[in-house]
């Protein structure tokens, strides 16, 4: 086995290699900053506020979310239930650019983002900036699922 010299370049490469990891055995590389658990905080790298909502026992937790107009937000939706759920943010994201990732199934209409279906034990991430202040309801529109919450956008 060949030894890596301790030059600044080799130290940087070693740090880079050791600082990256695999996600879920899929061979997807993520940085240590992305690997940190999501919380309701700001990411120093991207200047994005991360808000995590857990879906469990047919409830959204938390059920009230506070955002600011123009603030770049990554809304992480984690379905901890054993059934499919939907996230429908009524009017909040109309005519707004939304980046969707995760293993959910997003749906769009003429106004833009409509909803995302999130499988059991799955997740969806919506990245956007709210355009207007107000109180916006969100809910799961699947039959029999009486789940709702509110996103409050402040100036």
Summarize pLDDT for 114-148 with one digit per residue, the tens.
999 999 999 999 999 999 999 999 999 999 999 99
pTM surpassing 0.75?
Answer: no
Give CA–CA dist 8/125, Å, rounded.
37
Give the domain ranges of the chain. 1-36, 37-154
Cα(first)–Cα(last) distance of the chain, in Å? 60
For 9, list phi and psi in degrees, rounded to 5.
-65, -45
Span 44-53, pLDDT tens digits: 556 999 999 9
Q: Based on C-alpha coordinates, what's the Rg of the chain? A: 19
| Fold of the domain built from segment(s) 37-154 | Immunoglobulin-like (2.60.40)
Measure Cα distances from 81 to 40, 42, 46, 54, 86 in Å: 21, 27, 30, 9, 12
């Amino acid at each position: 086995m060949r030894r890596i010299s301790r030059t600044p370049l080799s130290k940087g490469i070693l740090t880079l290699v050791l600082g990256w990891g695999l996600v879920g055995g899929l061979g997807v590389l993520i940085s240590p900053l992305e690997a940190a658990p999501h919380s309701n905080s700001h990411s120093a790298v991207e200047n994005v506020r991360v808000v995590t909502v857990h879906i469990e026992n047919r409830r959204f937790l938390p059920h009230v979310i506070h955002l600011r107009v123009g603030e770049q937000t990554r809304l992480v939706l984690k379905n901890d239930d054993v059934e499919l759920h939907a996230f429908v943010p009524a009017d909040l994201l109309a005519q707004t650019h939304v980046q969707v990732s995760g293993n959910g199934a997003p749906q769009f209409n003429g106004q833009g983002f409509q909803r995302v279906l999130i499988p059991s034990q799955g997740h969806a991430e919506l990245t956007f900036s709210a355009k207007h202040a107000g109180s916006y309801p969100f809910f799961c529109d699947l039959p029999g699922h009486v789940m709702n919450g509110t996103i409050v956008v402040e100036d």
